[in-house]
Structure 1
Amino acid sequence: MKTSVLIFAFLLSLGSVQAQKKVFPQTPGMVSYTYRNSFSKNVPATLDTIKALGITDMEFSNLFGKTAADLRKYLDERGMKCSSFGVGYPDLQNKLAEVGQNAKTLGAEYVRVAWVPHKGPFTLELAKQTVADFNTFGKQLKDQFGLTFCYHNHGYEFEKYDDGTLMDYIIQNTDPRYVSFEMDILWTFFPGADPAALLAKYPDRFKLMHLKDLRKGVVGNLSGGTPVENDVALGTGQIDLATILKAARKSGIKHFYIEDESPSVATQVPQSIAYLKNLK
């Protein structure tokens, strides 16, 4: 009887430990855009600021007037790395070799684009051209440089199509050998989609994630835009981060980056890091 009681107590305590398991045990990375104003003035000092927060994994979407070799030197000196390199759509269309070489110099594994040029609503015709372009970009980057191409959604792709959206169309029609995705959770939630459900639907297609939160009370749409002040510290907005991060742990996501577009990064970023660290 005493043994049974002890076993029951052990199982109960084990359950309690499991209940307290951290949802996000790793350290997040950082998107350079978060500190764009600071980077534009002093790149080394900004990297020092980020490193002081305990963050060493960067996604650069701008060279900030430096060469890729300059940035790599600054990163190496601080024991930091660049895992993803973001560029514009015209860069991939017109100077893909330069993009690939810069990404390799930075030490990145991924090349990411975050906007498909368009005017007005995103259409099926645009989605078809996007698929063709992505397959081309991705194959060239993989074959020539060994890089993985990722598309970062921005909200407008969630126009309804058939029994899903044009985002579904893009995911389903791009070649998974050459095209992967970076989920921006704000720009998935904002147009009305469920980030956790999308990860569960395509568990192997998303490799990167932008961690953001949307101010409470803000109503989304398909525009792909909202005032930067609507970016708030993680855990203070309306996005269910715990559920999304649980789904992300079951998916193919390799890198998580904090992105805060607001003018309040000095206070919000430390708050976001603390939230992730303590999320159970």
Structure 2
Amino acid sequence: MKKTYLMTLLALFIGLNSFAQGYGSLLKETPGVVSYTYRTQLAKDMPGTLDEIKSHGITNMEFSNLFKQTSQYIREQLDMRGMRCTSYGTGYKNLEEDIETVIKDAKTLGAKFVRIAWVPHTGPMTIELAEQTVKDFNTFGKKLKENGLTFCYHNHGYEFAPYKNGTYFDYIVQNTNPKYVSFEMDILWVFHPGQDPAALLLKYPKRFKLMHVKDLKKGVEGDLSGSTPITNDVALGTGQLDLPAILKAAKKTKIENFYIEDENPKSHEQVPQSLAYLKSL
């Protein structure tokens, strides 16, 4: 009887502990945040801004800018607060022209992933551009993998122009080497050009490793431009995206890190609202 009682208590403790480690029912832990969300504040006062971010319970960050600091300085500031950088965002040209510096900075930050969010272009996506993109991505990814890093491409809307029986995004996914190229889904930039983020996650469940969690203001119509006013970013759960469906689909993928990204100038007010919404799911 005593043994049964103790086993019951142990099971209850494990269950409560597991629940405490989760974040609502759809996330395993508190989501991270993209540095761009706090770009103005980080540029002015990085230590104070990291303190603010940590006060929300956020310890995981994706840095897409070094804010005129060194990667070593940022790493020290994160370490002091028990925070971490899991992904480092850089530019296409940086990978073309100085990939060694990107590798050095990513490793110094402690990041596992290196991602880019834009393919240079001057007009609508074309097959010629898509073919060159595939070639470059495979080259970037191979070099990064040789250095213990994983390359990710963050979609930005324009890749969803139709091509044959799918889109140029389909072409890029299907023609890049999965050993070298993974993807970060920005759910707003899947929805804005008219696609279904949940369906796309389930179409390529092994290719997505990261996610930007965002919401789009109600009433905003999308297009293939890859651009929308930053004030169209709204607190999670107040916009157009079906976040429960997207996050349920994400549980069936290989996504390792979820980051809130909010480009709105009021992001510092909206992030706490977004966190509360995610926890309520």
State whether residues 38 and 268 of structure 2, in contact with CA within 8 Å, keep that contact through their aligned partners in structure 1.
no
Q: 1:131 matched to which residue of 2?
A: 134
1:75 paired residue among 73, 78, 87? 78
State whether residues 85 and 110 of structure 1, in contact with CA within 8 Å, keep that contact through their aligned partners in structure 2.
yes
SS at match of 1:214: coil
Q: 2:275 matched to which residue of 1?
A: 273
SS at match of 1:171: helix
For residues 34-113 of structure 1, the aligned pairs below 5 Å read 34-113=37-116
Paired letter, 1:39: L
Paired letter, 1:258: I
Q: CA deviation at 1:22?
A: 1.5
SS at match of 2:44: coil
Paired letter, 2:162: K
Q: CA deviation at 1:266?
A: 2.2
2:202 paired residue among 200, 203, 206? 200
Q: Take 1:121 and 1:263, find their aligned partners in 2: how far apart are those partners?
A: 29
Q: What is the total number of aligned residue pairs between the two structures? A: 258
Paired letter, 1:208: L
Q: CA deviation at 1:24?
A: 2.8
State whether residues 85 and 109 of structure 2, in contact with CA within 8 Å, keep that contact through their aligned partners in structure 1.
yes
State whether residues 34 and 261 of structure 1, in contact with CA within 8 Å, keep that contact through their aligned partners in structure 2.
yes
Q: CA deviation at 1:25?
A: 4.2
Paired letter, 1:142: K
Describe the superposition over 1:209-241 as per-residue Cα deviations: whole angstroms up to 9, x where unpaired: 000000000000000000000000000000000
TM-score, normalised to structure 1, is: 0.91
Describe the superposition over 1:69-101 as per-residue Cα deviations: whole angstroms up to 9, x where unpaired: 000000000000000000011100000000001
State whether residues 137 and 181 of structure 2, in contact with CA within 8 Å, keep that contact through their aligned partners in structure 1.
yes
SS at match of 1:66: coil
Q: 1:157 matched to which residue of 2?
A: 159
Q: CA deviation at 1:23?
A: 2.3
Q: Take 1:33 and 1:59, find their aligned partners in 2: how far apart are those partners?
A: 9
Paired letter, 2:189: W
Q: Take 2:167 and 2:41, find their aligned partners in 1: how far apart are those partners?
A: 37
Describe the superposition over 1:103-157 as per-residue Cα deviations: whole angstroms up to 9, x where unpaired: 00000000000000001101111010000000000000111x1100000000000
Paired letter, 1:241: L
Q: Take 1:25 and 1:100, find their aligned partners in 2: how far apart are those partners?
A: 29
SS at match of 1:223: coil
Q: Take 2:279 and 2:106, find their aligned partners in 1: how far apart are those partners?
A: 30
State whether residues 25 and 277 of structure 1, in contact with CA within 8 Å, keep that contact through their aligned partners in structure 2.
no
State whether residues 182 and 210 of structure 1, in contact with CA within 8 Å, keep that contact through their aligned partners in structure 2.
yes
Q: Take 2:201 and 2:106, find their aligned partners in 1: how far apart are those partners?
A: 26
Q: Take 2:107 and 2:26, find their aligned partners in 1: how far apart are those partners?
A: 32
TM-score, normalised to structure 2, is: 0.91
For residues 127-276 of structure 1, the aligned pairs below 5 Å read 127-143=130-146, 145-276=147-278
- Identity percentage of aligned residues: 66
Paired letter, 1:180: S
Paired letter, 2:80: E
Q: Take 1:106 and 1:26, find their aligned partners in 2: how far apart are those partners?
A: 21
Q: Take 2:250 and 2:107, find their aligned partners in 1: how far apart are those partners?
A: 27
Q: 2:119 matched to which residue of 1?
A: 116
Q: Take 1:23 and 1:56, find their aligned partners in 2: how far apart are those partners?
A: 18
SS at match of 2:199: helix
How large is the RMSD of aligned CA atoms in angstroms? 0.7
Structure 2 unaligned blocks of 5 or more: 1-23
